[in-house]
Amino acid sequence: MQLFGIKTPLIKPGDDMAEVLIKALKRVNIRPQLNDIFVLAESAVASAEGRIVELESVVPGKKAIALSKLYQNDPRKMELIIRESDEILGGIPGVVVTITKGVLSPSAGIDNSNAPEGHVVLLPENPRRSAIEIREKLMKEYGCSLAVIIGDSRTQPLRLGCVGIALGCAGIEPVEDARGRKDLFGKPLLITRRATADNLVSAAQIIMGEADESTPAVLIRDAPVRFIEGSEDIAQISREECLYFACFDK
């Protein structure tokens, strides 16, 4: 499996993400091949979609002001967190734990980094739709089947550091069901599912970085994944089925 970092100029609202990628690939003389996979940083996609908010334009409500004091957060950002999240679960000073678009997310995925001073970047409004649209434009340009994943970073319980998570994808099966396959001793796997899209985002983030690398995209070639024609939802499970929530959400 090969990974190629794609450096781009600063992504601005109104940019066509597919066109940005096409121009960046031409500059380094890379032409996508059949079943190549593009992993895109959610902040870049969101910026192109105009999901950048100036904090001065946000008027916090009473709930936001109260929660901002509790979690030591900017009340304007807290207002955006309330608007963007499905549910607020709790938090620590500076960070609020939320369920956003069905996923456990710090501060509803709202990012201060890689945003102009005094602004924040929200998550793409519909990451799956964004992945589908970008994929269609790239396939039209290159004349072959490709895949697109829009990814973000998350921390793991009781672990230091971030790993990748897919928010939306098109062209690959995001979760591979390994149940029924045999282990090294011939025993069938009973519950194992491989988070293919998440794993690819984690691999890409080693090259993308989290700071000023200007590498919001990675092209992955020869990945051992299952390619599909369309797009599937990123599989989510209920709290009752989740190992962590089942232990603590009582």
Q: For residue 188, what pLDDT band results from cuts at 50, 70 and 90? A: low
What pTM, to 2 d.p., does this model score?
Answer: 0.90
Residue 136 and residue 149 in one domain? yes
**In this predicted model, which residue has the larger pLDDT, 125 or 116?**
125
Checking if the pLDDT of 220 tops 60, the result is: yes
Q: How many domains does the chain have?
A: 2
DSSP per position, 60-83: --HHHHHHHHHHT--HHHHHHHHH
Residue 153 and residue 106 in one domain? no
pLDDT at 69: 94
Residue 41 and residue 24 in one domain? yes
Checking if the pLDDT of 103 tops 60, the result is: yes
- Interval 191-213: pLDDT, tens: 667 789 999 999 999 998 765 66
Q: Which two tokens stand for residue 131?
A: 């992945």
- Interval 28-66: pLDDT, tens: 999 999 999 999 999 999 999 999 999 999 999 999 999
Tokens 């992504």 belong to 11
pLDDT at 157: 80
Could you tell me which of 168, 159, 150, 127 has the C-alpha nearest to residue 205? Answer: 150
Q: Which two tokens stand for residue 141?
A: 């340009």
The stretch 88-112 carries a mean pLDDT of: 89
- Interval 161-186: pLDDT, tens: 889 999 999 999 998 866 556 666 66
pLDDT at 133: 97
Q: For residue 150, what pLDDT band results from cuts at 50, 70 and 90? A: very high
How distant, in Å, are the alpha carbons of 25, 119, 128, 169, 207 from that of 228? 24, 38, 14, 11, 26
Residue 232 and residue 148 in one domain? yes
The 8-class DSSP code of residue 37 comes to: E
Checking if the pLDDT of 74 tops 60, the result is: yes
Residue 77 and residue 27 in one domain? no
Could you tell me which of 33, 19, 36 has the C-alpha nearest to residue 171? Answer: 36
- 14: domain CATH number? 3.30.1330.100
How distant, in Å, are the alpha carbons of 229, 244, 248 from that of 102? 25, 15, 18
Domain extent at residue 58: 53-121
- 74: domain CATH number? 3.90.1660.10
Residue 239 and residue 132 in one domain? yes
Domain final residue, candidates 121, 136, 168: 121
List, in sequence order, every beta strand (DSSP E) within 18-161. 37-41, 52-54, 87-92, 95-100, 103-106, 119-121, 147-155
Give the SS3 label for residue 57. helix
Residue 69 and residue 168 in one domain? no
Residue 117 and residue 127 in one domain? no
Residue 166 and residue 214 in one domain? yes
Average pLDDT, the chain: 89
Residue 33 and residue 128 in one domain? yes
pLDDT at 24: 95
Residue 90 and residue 6 in one domain? no
First to last CA, the chain: 43
Residue 109 and residue 196 in one domain? no
